Amino acid sequence: MKAAVVVFPGSNCDRDLAVAFKAAGADVEMVWHKDTDLPTAVDIVGVPGGFSFGDYLRCGAIAANSPICQAVKAHATRGGYVLGICNGFQVLTETGILPGALLRNAGLKYICKTIGLKVATSQSVYTEGYNAGDVIDIPIAHHDGNYFADAATLDALHGEDRVAFTYTDNPNGSMDDIAGILSANRRVLGMMPHPERAADPGHGGTDGQALFRAVAAQLANA
């Protein structure tokens, strides 16, 4: 499996994401925001956490209009896999690849702690290493993680089983406790929590490993 991890000015989880992909057995190539093309034969694109472009204007708004994001959009449109974590999730909503938006946390505070995350569906390459209903411990670290979508979008997400993860104890005001969602074709996942920060015993937890292992196993023969 070949993964590409996008790097924007201000990304700070790019290396962690690359390490998590590699540990699961993937070949990883980093791509710069000014690149106009993804490496050939990329199976999955990782859009990492951080503060792309200093969160200017809105989190992810400037990154979403960078040259590489046009390539990421094209990749998603032709059925490619994309994993956006934290700022990466914000970038994916800003590009329109995923619906909704991430607002300022309801309590206004930047929150950095490990939270309980409920796996809402196991029906995706990202979550099939878990059972629906499992509660895993994954860190969050964000200021703007308050998921918002209109009623029709929420209905579609629930009706199509596209809510991937929910918070067991909503930290940020997200509608319906939503922490991560899937695209209609289930190949794009955006999530605020950081599975790549719980992917090695040195992190203090390994509950995120199953996500990367499942992706690597599924896409190994893709």
Partner 1 sequence: MKATVHVMLKTGVLDPQGEAVRHALGALGFEGVNGVRQGKVIELDLADGTTEADVNAMCEKLLANMVIESYRVDLS
Catalytically active residues are 86, 194, 196
Find, among 48, 54, 174, the residue nearest to 104 by Cα.
Answer: 174
The 3-state secondary structure of 67-97 reads HHHHHHHHHHHCCCEEEEECHHHHHHHHHCC
Find, among 22, 16, 63, the residue nearest to 44 by Cα.
Answer: 22
Q: How far apart (Å, rounded) are the C-alpha atoms in residues 199 and 24?
A: 9
Sites for partner 1 among residues 64-93 (CB under 8 A): 65, 93
Least Cβ distance, residue 146 to partner 1 (angstroms): 7
Least Cβ distance, residue 60 to partner 1 (angstroms): 9
Q: How far apart (Å, rounded) are the C-alpha atoms in residues 73 and 96?
A: 9
Least Cβ distance, residue 72 to partner 1 (angstroms): 17
Total interface residues for partner 1 by CB under 8 A: 20
Q: How far apart (Å, rounded) are the C-alpha atoms in residues 105 and 121?
A: 25
41 binding partner 1? (CB under 8 A): no
Sites for partner 1 among residues 90-119 (CB under 8 A): 93-94, 99-101, 103-108
- Which residue is associated with the tokens 């292992």? 213
58 binding partner 1? (CB under 8 A): yes
- Residue from the set 27, 29, 39, 148 that interacts with partner 1 by CB under 8 A: 148
- Residue from the set 170, 173, 206, 213 that interacts with partner 1 by CB under 8 A: 173
Binding site for partner 1 (CB under 8 A): 57-58, 61, 65, 93-94, 99-101, 103-108, 146, 148-150, 173
